């Protein structure tokens, strides 16, 4: 009798657990379905999302979209005639906004006679982009420009050295084996795994992100490595007869008086811009555009109604501001290349 009772309650516990995971997985698909990423054999990015992967989020912004047949966030399919290749981090992947509100789509919509293809991927900082750009250019062969997004101009010396030495670590992909099967079939497991990691970090008083050393933008060694790093990023683009753009979209904060603050080191910004110019890279700084957005519309470029004010990824207004600035610079550069005498350098 006792054994039957144990078996009965054990079965009920197992069924309840499985049912709970089923409900949680269904909720996850709606609330925050991050999807599965797959190692990219071409090297153009460290990984891509599962082709035609459904991605949803309600925890930062609100969106429901599918990746394209290559696992990137584009409305139109890739073709062989790419004019502009867009690279960057999760800000360019842009799963927090509608497919029709992100920078890549807005560029395509405005530059109707040019084809823009976006391979922005979560985690792909400027270091990853510089590490991958040679392969990206081989794969996509943009005829006009390659564009890299960066959220910082205060670059880490060690990370730049690793890119120069071809030892910069790639982002791991769990696209086979048990971990893959669990992610594929039990969406809630991935969310639970991440949450357990956060709990452990909180218990151990681990910082959310490692603290970076303050750079000295006047240091000769730093400037030399920065120039070599940017030269390596620009070389494969220029060898194809195209031109590299790097645009900086800074983090912004609002102080207690309502003033917009941009905590950028002015010396680091000047050094980065000078190094870009020396290497034939067109540098686009979004600082003034974000300030204008705030002054005229009282809108921040980052953050959503369901996040802290100004925190996190680019919102629709931020993408619009970036697209408008890039469109103006791109059109000006095309006119300059065509020999328009009214366009100054």
Query: How confident is the model over 77-97, as pLDDT tens digits?
Result: 777 789 999 999 999 999 999
Q: Is residue 258 part of a domain?
A: yes
Q: What is the CATH number of the domain that holds 92?
A: 3.40.50.1110
C-alpha–C-alpha distance, residues 35 and 44, integer Å? 20
Residue 182 above 70 pLDDT?
Answer: no
Q: How many domains does the chain have?
A: 1
Q: Is residue 11 part of a domain?
A: no
Adjacent-strand bridge partners of 39 = 47
200-206-209-212 Cα dihedral, nearest 10 degrees: -160
User: 47-59: string of b/e by CB count within 10 Å (b at 16+)?
Assistant: bbbbeebebbbee
Q: Is residue 93 part of a domain?
A: yes
Which tens digits make up the pLDDT trace of 3-59? 777 676 778 777 776 666 566 655 555 666 777 889 999 999 999 998 998 888 878
- Of 40, 24, 234, the closest CA to residue 137 belongs to 234
- Say how many C-beta atoms besides its own lie within 10 A of residue 187's C-beta: 23
| Run of H or E including 277 | helix 266-278
Which tens digits make up the pLDDT trace of 58-71? 788 988 899 999 99
Total residue length of the chain = 345
Q: Is residue 268 part of a domain?
A: yes
Q: Is residue 203 part of a domain?
A: no
* C-alpha distance from residue 4 to each of 9, 17, 81 (Å): 9, 20, 69
Q: Is residue 272 part of a domain?
A: yes
Q: Is residue 343 part of a domain?
A: no
139 Cα distance to chain centroid: 19
* Cβ-defined contacts of 258-263 (< 8 Å, 24+): 260/290, 260/291, 260/294, 260/295, 260/300, 262/287, 262/290, 262/291
E strands along the chain, which residues?
32-33, 37-39, 47-49, 54-57, 63-66, 84-87, 116-118, 145-150, 243-248, 253-254, 260-261, 282-285
Which tens digits make up the pLDDT trace of 142-180? 999 999 999 999 999 999 999 999 999 999 887 676 666
Tell me 208's DSSP state: S
Q: Is residue 7 part of a domain?
A: no
The range of the structural domain enclosing residue 100 comes to: 65-173+215-337
Tell me the mean pLDDT in the region 205-216: 60
Q: Which residue has the higher pLDDT, 195 or 248?
A: 248
């Amino acid at each position: 009798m006792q054994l039957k009772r144990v078996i009965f309650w054990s079965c009920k516990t197992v069924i309840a657990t499985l049912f709970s995971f089923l409900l949680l997985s269904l909720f996850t698909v709606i609330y925050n379905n991050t999807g599965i990423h797959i190692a990219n054999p071409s090297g153009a990015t460290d990984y891509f999302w599962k082709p035609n992967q459904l991605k949803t989020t309600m925890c930062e912004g609100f969106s429901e979209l599918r990746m394209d047949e290559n696992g990137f966030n584009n409305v139109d399919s890739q073709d062989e005639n790419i004019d502009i290749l867009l690279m960057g981090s999760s800000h360019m992947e842009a799963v927090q906004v509608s497919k029709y509100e992100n920078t890549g789509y807005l560029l395509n919509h405005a530059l109707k006679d040019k084809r823009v293809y976006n391979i922005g991927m979560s985690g792909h900082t400027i270091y990853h982009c510089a590490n991958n750009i040679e392969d990206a250019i081989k794969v996509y062969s943009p005829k006009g420009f390659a564009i890299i997004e960066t959220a910082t101009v205060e670059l880490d010396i060690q990370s730049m050295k690793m890119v120069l030495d071809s030892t910069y670590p790639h982002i791991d992909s769990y696209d086979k084996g048990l971990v893959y099967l669990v992610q594929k079939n039990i969406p809630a497991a991935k969310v639970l795994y991440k949450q357990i990691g956060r709990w452990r970090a909180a218990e151990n008083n681990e910082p959310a992100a490692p603290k970076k050393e303050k750079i000295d933008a006047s240091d000769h060694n730093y400037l030399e490595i920065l120039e070599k790093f940017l030269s390596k990023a620009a070389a494969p683009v220029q060898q194809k007869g195209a031109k590299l753009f790097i645009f900086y979209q800074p983090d912004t904060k609002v102080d207690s008086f309502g003033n917009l603050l941009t905590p950028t080191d002015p010396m680091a910004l000047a050094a980065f811009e000078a190094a870009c110019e020396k290497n034939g890279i067109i540098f686009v700084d979004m600082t003034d555009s974000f300030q204008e957005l705030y002054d005229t519309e009282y809108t921040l470029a980052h953050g959503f109604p369901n996040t802290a004010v100004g925190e996190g990824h680019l919102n629709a207004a931020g993408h619009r501001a970036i697209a408008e600035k890039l469109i103006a610079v791109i059109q000006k550069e095309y006119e300059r290349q065509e020999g328009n005498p009214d366009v100054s350098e």
